[in-house]
Amino acid sequence: NESCGKCVPCRVGSQKMASLGSHLLGGKISETEWKTTLQPLIGVNS
């Protein structure tokens, strides 16, 4: 783990990513929804 979790982007981002991962694995959101939510956050277009 490379995040100390002290700065806001890491602290909030890590929580958001964990929540999205749980929802994806639990079948609460689709893979497409997951990718759509994450793309603007990580700046990846593929």
Mean pLDDT across the stretch 10-37?
85
Q: What pLDDT does residue 11 have?
A: 79
What is the C-alpha separation between 8 and 37, in angstroms, rounded?
A: 19
Cα 24 to Cα 5: distance, rounded to the nearest angstrom: 23
Which residues have a Cβ under 8 Å from the Cβ of 4 and sit 6 or more positions away? 10
Is there a contact between 42 and 25 (Cβ–Cβ < 8 Å)?
A: no
Predicted confidence at residue 1, as pLDDT, reads 55
pLDDT value of position 44: 54
Give this prediction's pTM. Answer: 0.55
